[in-house]
Structure 1
Amino acid sequence: MKALFLGGTGTISSACVQLALSQGWDITLMNRGNHAGDVPADVELLKVDCNDSEAVRRAVWGKSYDVIADFIAFTPLQASRDIELFREKCGQYIFISSASAYQKPMNHYQIREDTPLKNPYWQYSRDKIECEELLTAAYRKLDFPVTIVRPSHTYGLKSIPVPIHGAKGSWQVVRRMLAGKPIIVHGDGLSLWTFTYNTDFAKGFCGLMGNPKAIGEAVHITSDESLTWNDACRSIGRAFGVEPHFVHISSDFLAAFNADLLGALLGDKAHSVVFDNSKIKRLVPGFCANICFDEGVRRCAAYIQAHPEYQAEDPGFDAWCDSVIAAYFSGLTARPSTGPASGA
């Protein structure tokens, strides 16, 4: 069985590559080759800019695959390109969407695949929704063999999942913990969140590869574990041997200091998410996410501490945290001394 992965070196896709190889798949990756050192020796690498349609067309000329999976399509234009390029090239096309596409705010605490798709806060999510709509229409009208996969917050060895981080990743948040500095947690930290370790995700994903029952379906793949953000941060602290200090700040306040957080928080992390995973378990019998968050972050902590190249300092983000926290406490000290008069 042959598969072509567009991307293939990211947190999610690299775990899928490793597991698919162990299951006997013949894997080809297509990407620009910027992370060629992360490509296993027994994987073919096509060094192509996936946004160059003609280059992609030349690279797959005369070839066909049992599965083509695109891990780096984010826009409707890219989804339309894939339909055109791969319609006659594969028995199954897998599109990596996002669980952030689900309705915000939600009308039910538990998320299933038939939960409406609507996110007024985040363009990233709206683009993923439009991609799904294009691909679903192609399945209905053109028999394009699509399977849509919606990951939630999936992480791996090289990065600690945290509530808020800067452009250089999450290590600066860990540094703040280690230095005894407060870290910012959105809201009251009591909303529920679901973290999925990438090797657990890969078990569900590889079970969908070449699975005829998955054609025309959309399915999310997540852990069954739900944690409050406070508990998640305490787990991170335990992994590094410290007790973290929190400052709880509303998502609206944070977005006022950084507009990019409007999508990432109000369009995603500020909402409690509890996933019903019965569909992936039905499509992939035996699927189960076995790595709890406490164990996952211990693995991450050990790996990152042994690999200084993943300890990227971010002084700009550190200063931003200090300024936001100072502004928050300044507002608290300036609050009125008496409350409004109560009604009779």
Structure 2
Amino acid sequence: MTGPRILFLGGTGVLSSACARELADTDAELTVLTRGRDSRRPVPENVRTLHADVRDDRAVRAALGDETFDVVVNFIGYHPDDITADVARFNGRTGQYVFISTASVYARPAPRLPVDEGAARRAGDFDYPRLKLECEETLERAYRREGFPAAIVRPAHVYDEQVLPLLAGWTVIDRWRRSRPAVVHGDGTSLWNLMHARDFARALTGVLGDDRITGSSLHITSDEVLSWDTIHRTLARAAGVEPLLVHRSSEDIGREIDWMGPVLTEDFRHSLVYDNSRLKALLPRFGPEIPFRRGAAEILGWYDADPARCRTDEALDAAFERLAGV
């Protein structure tokens, strides 16, 4: 007896590649639909791969033919038009459609903590969560009006060994190794959630096809609560350096680095702690296995293994110098 037929829209990103690896050695019949570009995260050899741009409806329909799936997971939907197209493509062709959204759709500051799946959603002016929220609303209408078998999964901040979970990326590590300070927004005490992609993958693959999530939303986030100062210090320890920190307001940073402004003022500066009770009820044996101190060591190991990966941004470095006042 064969396992479930699962389709991933996307398969080479941080989340989707980890989930593909998690399913690769199971009895699931996994198909990954990607654009076919080279990636640092290749699809496992025993996973079927199809190539098409998901925003080219004709190409997608040609690639999939009349196939049906038990579960379709969309990792790369960022605009409500993407969801409208998928509803038209997959209505009647899948038993469950899972949209990977973001926990950034919740109102900031949160009216109450911890945030559960029923908390108020409001995305403000930051385009990424605003469009993800519009995607959710489009999908919810399809479920209510057409019975489209939709489920919404909300991760928070997911990383793997190739992702430094800081907006300035490797530039921060490079500055520390030159004995220069990194700039942290606020006073560094706001609380944040980081989850390793392998832990996310274990949870997501555990609920795929579960009828209890259809028609609803689900958090997949870590129980490890970290301040931004702790995140920086943990990375500094993994890099073998002193964590030199200078604190500046989100607004001040945004004036120096304009693209950081909306991310910091509307998202990162607010404390977020998530209620994972529903996930634990669905998967009683699940628990994240990779604390950030271990994840940070993996990140530094991956970067330090190849100097070509250690790219700094000169404009960011100069902006940090100005903000640090040195």
Query: Into which bin does the TM-score normalised by the smaller protein fall?
Result: over 0.9
**Correspondent of 2:64 among 60, 66, 74:** 60
Q: Which residue of 2 aligns with 1:342?
A: none
Separation (CA, whole Å) in 1 of partners of 2:306 and 2:73: 30
* Letter matched to residue 28 of structure 2: W
Q: 1:116-174 deviations in whole A, cap 9, x for unaligned?
A: 11021312111111111110111111111111011101000112212x31xxxx11211
Q: Which residue of 2 aligns with 1:21?
A: 24
Q: Secondary structure at the match of 2:17?
A: helix
Note the aligned Cα RMSD (angstroms): 1.4
Matched, 1:139 2:138: no
TM-score of the aligned structures, taking structure 2 as reference length = 0.95
Matched, 1:236 2:235: yes
Identity of aligned residues (%): 37
Q: Which residue of 2 aligns with 1:51?
A: 55
Separation (CA, whole Å) in 1 of partners of 2:308 and 2:7: 29
Separation (CA, whole Å) in 2 of partners of 1:234 and 1:20: 34
Q: What count of residue pairs does the alignment treat as equivalent?
A: 322
Alignment of 1:249-268 (within 5 A): 249-268=248-267
Q: Classify 1:151/1:63 alpha carbon distance in 2 versus 1 (closer, same or farther; 3 Å).
A: same
Alignment of 1:312-331 (within 5 A): 312-326=311-325
Alignment of 1:34-45 (within 5 A): 34-35=37-38, 38-45=42-49
Q: Which residue of 2 aligns with 1:273?
A: 272
Separation (CA, whole Å) in 2 of partners of 1:126 and 1:88: 29
* Letter matched to residue 15 of structure 1: A
How far apart are residue 306 of structure 1 and its match?
1.4
Specify the structure having the higher radius of gyration (Cα): 1
**Correspondent of 2:34 among 13, 31, 36:** 31
Separation (CA, whole Å) in 2 of partners of 1:10 and 1:283: 25
Separation (CA, whole Å) in 2 of partners of 1:53 and 1:247: 49
Q: 1:56-92 deviations in whole A, cap 9, x for unaligned?
A: 1221121011111111110111111111111122111
TM-score of the aligned structures, taking structure 1 as reference length = 0.90
Q: Which residue of 2 aligns with 1:333?
A: none
How far apart are residue 210 of structure 1 and its match?
1.2
Separation (CA, whole Å) in 2 of partners of 1:279 and 1:266: 29
Separation (CA, whole Å) in 2 of partners of 1:280 and 1:94: 15
How far apart are residue 36 of structure 1 and its match?
5.6
Q: 1:7-29 deviations in whole A, cap 9, x for unaligned?
A: 11111111111111223222111
Question: Which runs of 5 or more structure 1 residues have no equivalent in the other structure?
Answer: 330-344
Alignment of 1:1-344 (within 5 A): 1-35=4-38, 38-162=42-166, 164-165=167-168, 170-326=169-325
2:153–2:219 Cα contact (<8 Å) kept:
yes
Q: 1:168-197 deviations in whole A, cap 9, x for unaligned?
A: xx1121111111111010000001111101
2:9–2:73 Cα contact (<8 Å) kept:
yes
Separation (CA, whole Å) in 2 of partners of 1:302 and 1:135: 40
1:159–1:310 Cα contact (<8 Å) kept:
no
Separation (CA, whole Å) in 1 of partners of 2:14 and 2:66: 30
* Letter matched to residue 163 of structure 2: S
1:208–1:283 Cα contact (<8 Å) kept:
yes
1:139–1:216 Cα contact (<8 Å) kept:
yes
Q: 1:217-272 deviations in whole A, cap 9, x for unaligned?
A: 10111110101111111110110111111110000111222332233112211011
* Letter matched to residue 26 of structure 1: E
* Letter matched to residue 44 of structure 1: R
Separation (CA, whole Å) in 1 of partners of 2:286 and 2:309: 31
Q: Secondary structure at the match of 2:84?
A: helix
1:145–1:215 Cα contact (<8 Å) kept:
yes
